[in-house]
């Protein structure tokens, strides 16, 4: 059984490598057009240093070029008033033009936006949204017509968002009104800072996202995506501020990014397949999660996920799969490998009894099946004695769970091997594995 699982997961890893190497997917893409200001990686688990290099022969998109649409030229003032209409006009002009076009947000200026949607399809073969300066959210929550959205790119193909600038959600205006902070308040939700919906051939790189109202960046029903060299930050106690949220999205690479938030650094939910996250530094936050899946008796499918070369520091979870009772579907073909844990509360966890409610959740027999999961080359420290938790469903137990070369130490007792808590799982092991299920 172990050999069959390893062979299957090895094939998965090979296929994902070949898939990701085919980016950026479009023959019209110009590989020399990389950002002027970029983040350079030291190739050790995603630790990133900033370097100011001129990396391309084009330099800044020239404001005089007929292909460049500078928001300033369309009336953006950067004076604290709403610049949404100017951004929309610049987008409309770029979207209706042919060839490669730029939307330029100038450096050394801060532009304030209310809710704004940049929609396709566009006539242009490639749109490069160059954020050199800062975009910040309108501070009054009552001004948001669509409460769950702030900046949205919808149905745009061949899009790049880059430039080394910042996107600030001013989340401190929203967080005190969250039911996670004050349980007496209704759970109304808050905007995701940046949402990509039904976009194909998409690259987001060299951007800093901070203080999102709720989630920082969501890829929803997208295909062929690269998210590279991102810095995502918000306070560790900010509610529901997931770093990167992937839903219904196929063929996505998340690479060389630092994510420090109040919720999952990366969350991967139903409908997502062929997902690879590599070179990620996570913490504070809730770790890297698949799920939650199957809420409200729903059907959920996630497959072909690889998380490797990650470092998790002080997170409440490390690598986690979480499903609700009563759901159905499957989470399969998942690899967590080459991961360092530093003072992580739950370094390895599968929880098929997930319940994110104030009241207790009812016992139900159906569950999302979890199968073919490999944990390989994982080491570090747990902030609690129990470092491995497999809490699988009694009616639909976890299948094909394998561990290879895993060593987790209880940080509360230096150099003492931590323990494992396992139920309804048959575990295959290879090499040195500690702790072991008993």
CA neighbours closer than 13 Å in the CB half-sphere of residue 385: 3
Q: Are 254 and 244 in contact (CB under 8 A)?
A: yes
Neighbours of 421 (CB within 10 A): 15
CA distance 292 to 182: 23
Burial code (b: 16+ CB inside 10 Å, e: under 16) for 170-187 equals bbebbbeebeeeeeeeee
DSSP states along 233-294: E--TT-TT--SEEEES-EEEEEEEEEEE-SS-SEEE-TTEEEEEEEEEEE-SSS-EEEEEE-
Torsion of CA 286, 189, 148, 362, to 10 degrees: 80
Residue 286 annotated in active site: yes
Which listed residue (263, 338, 356, 410) is catalytic?
263
Three-state DSSP class for residue 187: coil
Residues 314 and 317: their CA atoms lie apart, in Å, by 9
Cis peptide before 134 (omega within 30 of 0): no
Q: The tokens of 301 are what?
A: 């499918």
Question: What's the CA gap between 75 and 151, in Å, rounded?
Answer: 19
Q: How many helices (H) and strands (E) does the chain have?
A: 2, 32
CA pair distance 435, 438, nearest whole angstrom: 9
Question: 121, 104, 108: which is closest to 58 by C-alpha?
Answer: 104
Which residue among 45, 216, 245, 286 is the active-site one?
286
Virtual CA dihedral for 205, 251, 168, 177, nearest 10 degrees? -170
Residues tagged active-site: 263, 286
């Amino acid at each position: 059984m172990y050999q069959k699982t390893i062979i299957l997961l090895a094939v998965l890893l090979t296929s994902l490598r070949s898939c990701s190497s085919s980016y950026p997917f479009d023959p019209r893409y110009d590989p020399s057009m990389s950002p002027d200001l970029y983040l350079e990686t030291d190739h050790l688990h995603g630790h990133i240093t900033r370097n100011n290099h001129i990396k391309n022969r084009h330099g800044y998109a020239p404001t005089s070029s007929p292909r460049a649409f500078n928001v300033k030229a369309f009336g953006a003032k950067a004076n604290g008033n709403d610049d949404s209409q100017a951004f929309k006009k610049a987008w409309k002009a770029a979207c209706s033009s042919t060839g490669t076009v730029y939307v330029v947000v100038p450096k050394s200026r801060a532009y304030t936006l209310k809710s704004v949607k940049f929609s396709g399809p566009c006539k242009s073969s490639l749109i490069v949204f160059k954020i050199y300066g800062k975009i910040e959210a309108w501070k009054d929550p009552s001004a948001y017509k669509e409460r769950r959205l702030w900046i949205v790119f919808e149905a745009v193909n061949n899009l790049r968002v880059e430039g080394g600038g910042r996107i600030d959600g001013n989340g401190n205006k929203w967080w005190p009104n969250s039911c996670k902070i004050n349980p007496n308040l209704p759970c109304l939700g808050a905007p995701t800072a940046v949402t990509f919906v039904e976009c194909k051939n998409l690259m987001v790189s060299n951007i800093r996202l901070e203080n999102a109202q709720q989630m920082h960046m969501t890829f929803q029903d997208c295909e062929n995506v690269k998210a590279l060299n991102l810095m995502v930050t918000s306070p560790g106690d900010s509610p529901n501020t997931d770093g990167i949220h992937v839903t219904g999205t196929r063929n996505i690479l998340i690479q060389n990014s630092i994510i420090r938030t109040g919720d999952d650094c990366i969350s991967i939910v139903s409908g997502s397949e062929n997902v690879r996250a590599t070179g990620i530094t996570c913490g504070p936050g809730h770790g890297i999660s698949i799920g939650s899946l199957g809420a409200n008796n729903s059907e959920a499918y996630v497959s072909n996920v690889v998380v490797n070369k990650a470092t998790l520091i002080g997170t409440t979870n490390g690598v986690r799969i979480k499903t609700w009772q009563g759901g159905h579907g499957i989470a399969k073909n998942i690899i967590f490998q080459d991961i360092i844990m530093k003072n992580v509360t739950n370094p390895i966890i599968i929880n098929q009894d997930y319940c994110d409610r104030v009241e207790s959740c009812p016992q139900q027999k159906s569950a999302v099946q979890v199968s073919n999961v490999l944990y390989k080359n994982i080491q570090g420290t747990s902030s609690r004695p129990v470092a491995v938790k497999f809490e699988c469903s009694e009616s639909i137990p976890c299948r094909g769970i394998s561990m290879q070369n895993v060593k987790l130490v209880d940080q509360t007792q230096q150099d003492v091997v931590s323990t494992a808590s396992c139920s309804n799982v048959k575990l295959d092991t290879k090499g040195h594995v500690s702790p072991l299920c008993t």
